[in-house]
Structure 1
Amino acid sequence: MSNTSGDQGNRHPRGSAGPHGADGAGGTAGLAGKRVLITGGTRGLGREIVRLLAGEGVRVATCARGEGDLRALRAALGGPEPDRLLTRALDLTEPERLEDFVAAAAKRFSGLDGVVACAGGSRGRGLEESGADDWAAAWELNVHHAVRLVRAAVPHLRAAGGGSVVLVSSISGWKPGPYAQYGTAKAAQIHLAASLARELGPDGIRVNAVSPGSMLIPGRRWDRMRREEPEAYAAFAAAELPAGEPVAPQEVARVVAFLLSDWSSGISGAHLPVDRAQNAPSPDGY
């Protein structure tokens, strides 16, 4: 499939299955040949999304703060050819850096078919322990970063005849738990997806939100708790995880890939929890 801006391979009538659609031809749900930009693609869920998409023949652009993490990602993917993977070290909160990267990715790949706002984070603690700067940082990392990403990508998605946007929210965005600034920002992402789906729908651009539960990622909170505090982890799993363990990042990545694919052409404005029916977001819940 050609990746030129005039290529018709990624254009299809709204509601159709597309060139690799429901007939089962091609790669997984018609992902092969697509051009997708993902923020925060070197660790955890972001890394799994990049790995999965690259393995399905997707041209991938991703960014992260550390050049070392990006080098490790490229090595883990087997050193893809430059026209298959574009990486850049940048701070998403710096003005115009994200927008410049979106433009660079669209130029390298001759367009874009999808974007994933995966980067995010939390600042501060409880209400009385957190200041305005903590709330502003949580908003910037999660909501404003997603807004800037979509706004920069829209002209390229429109030029491709439409596309898919996935905002990675969190179980904390719809089930209350500490801390409010993080949960509020993630709830805003869910609303943002529903609102932008209506606004951008006439251009054939779909927007959806995915809310992972507590993911079991090596070296992160739940993995450390399982190894260092096995009794506390077992109590958390018994009380909040009906499946007995947290969702794996690979499981969430598959849902994101589906939403980027032609097979999800009828889904827009949706909020998809991927949490194995988890109850509270953490053992520190209210």
Structure 2
Amino acid sequence: MFDLVRNGSGGRATVSLDGDTDRTGLRDKRVLVTGGTRGLGEQIVRLLSAEGVRVGTCARTARGLETLAASVGPALFTRRLDVTAPGELEGFVEDAAELFGGLDGVVACTGGSRGGGFEEADAEDWAATWAVNVGHATRLVRAAVPHLRAAGGGSVVVISSISGWKPGPPAQYSVAKSAQIQLAASLARELGPDGIRVNAVSPGSMLIPGRRWDRMRREEPEAFARFVAAELPGGAPVAPQEVARVVAFLLSDWSSGISGAHLPVDRAQNAPSPDGY
């Protein structure tokens, strides 16, 4: 039951869930986030941890995990692994569920692309791009389902991309990201009877230090300005923190009525690249 509670005169309105005041509907949840040491994944981990969530995350490099754990705190559960390696992701899910006493949510955030344009990318590039996006998300959810079901339900968030629903190269990446959107919609129908919600989030071109758009802003300021003027009505790329807040909402009790949705978080961006449509 949701009851509106106001904290004093002019104070912030909060929501009471069965008598417990929780500003976000996240406190004490148990959530796993893949790819949590950089960019969007890092911001999701930091936000959830700050809101009282027990968080586990994985990445390919030990150094990134150590740096993250040192700043987030000892409660963060980390594991160095390759999400495409057989059994490693599944082992991470099982060990985290045992440590946390169950799971309430998972976020499939790891992603990427291999190979160049259509004529340069070979079959192995297509397979690798599929595996790190669709394959990893599918395996993460499959491993988590028994634990989410045992908890009475939970929330799954699949991180897709603006490239998954607006055309832009490289094709192997766009196709994989499009499949993730369909995966979330299909699983929402199949897992709904178990109380498991599944949604997809599609970030626009995010401004992440050291990554493509940040480099373009610093190294090619005129080209970056043209890109913003042509494709970004909001006047700037979306920040990863803005996307992280949407992901946190979908993991929370506040979003209990949302499943099978595809939520773009892109400031009304047009094309996903400076090439336009």
TM range (shorter): over 0.9
1:28 CA drift (Å): 3.3
The residue that corresponds to 1:181 in the other structure is 172
CA deviation map 1:52-96 (0-9, x unaligned): 00000000000000000000001121x33xxx3110000111100
1:24-35 aligned within 5 A? 25-35=20-30
Distance in 2 of aligned mates of 1:250 and 1:219: 16
Q: Does 1:56 align with 2:47?
A: no
Q: Does 1:73 align with 2:68?
A: yes
The residue that corresponds to 1:112 in the other structure is 103
* Equivalent AA in structure 1 for residue 99 of structure 2: R
Q: Secondary structure at the match of 1:23?
A: strand
Q: Does 1:142 align with 2:133?
A: yes
* Equivalent AA in structure 2 for residue 130 of structure 1: A
1:17 CA drift (Å): 5.2
CA contact (8 A) 2:24 2:51 kept: no
Q: Does 1:98 align with 2:98?
A: no
* Equivalent AA in structure 2 for residue 240 of structure 1: E
CA contact (8 A) 1:172 1:281 kept: yes
Q: Secondary structure at the match of 1:120?
A: coil
Structure-2 change in CA distance of 1:75 and 1:98 (3 Å): same
Gaps of 5+ in 2: 6-13
Q: Secondary structure at the match of 2:271?
A: coil
1:22 CA drift (Å): 3.8
CA contact (8 A) 1:17 1:265 kept: no
Tell me which stretches of 4 or more aligned residues in structure 1 moved more than 6 Å: none
Aligned length: 266
The residue that corresponds to 2:37 in the other structure is 42
Distance in 2 of aligned mates of 1:183 and 1:255: 22
* Equivalent AA in structure 1 for residue 156 of structure 2: V
Q: 1:23 aligns with which of 11, 16, 35?
A: 16
The residue that corresponds to 1:172 in the other structure is 163
CA contact (8 A) 1:170 1:212 kept: yes
- Structure number with the higher strand fraction is 2
The residue that corresponds to 2:10 in the other structure is none
Distance in 2 of aligned mates of 1:178 and 1:138: 13
Distance in 1 of aligned mates of 2:173 and 2:267: 21
The residue that corresponds to 2:274 in the other structure is 283
CA deviation map 1:188-229 (0-9, x unaligned): 000000000000000000000000000000111111111110
Which structure carries more relative contact order (alpha carbon 8 Å, separation 6+)?
1
Identity of aligned residues (%): 75
The residue that corresponds to 2:209 in the other structure is 218
1:284 CA drift (Å): 2.5
Distance in 2 of aligned mates of 1:280 and 1:27: 38
Distance in 1 of aligned mates of 2:2 and 2:36: 28
Moved more, 26-35 or 130-139: 26-35
Distance in 2 of aligned mates of 1:141 and 1:27: 35
* Equivalent AA in structure 1 for residue 203 of structure 2: P
1:23 CA drift (Å): 3.0
- TM-score (norm: length of structure 2): 0.93
Distance in 1 of aligned mates of 2:36 and 2:2: 28
- TM-score (norm: length of structure 1): 0.90
Q: Secondary structure at the match of 1:26?
A: strand
1:77-88 aligned within 5 A? 77=72, 79-80=73-74, 84-88=75-79
CA deviation map 1:145-204 (0-9, x unaligned): 000000000000000000000000000000000111000000000000000000000000
Distance in 1 of aligned mates of 2:23 and 2:116: 41
CA contact (8 A) 1:158 1:205 kept: yes
Q: Does 1:129 align with 2:124?
A: no
Q: Secondary structure at the match of 1:219?
A: coil
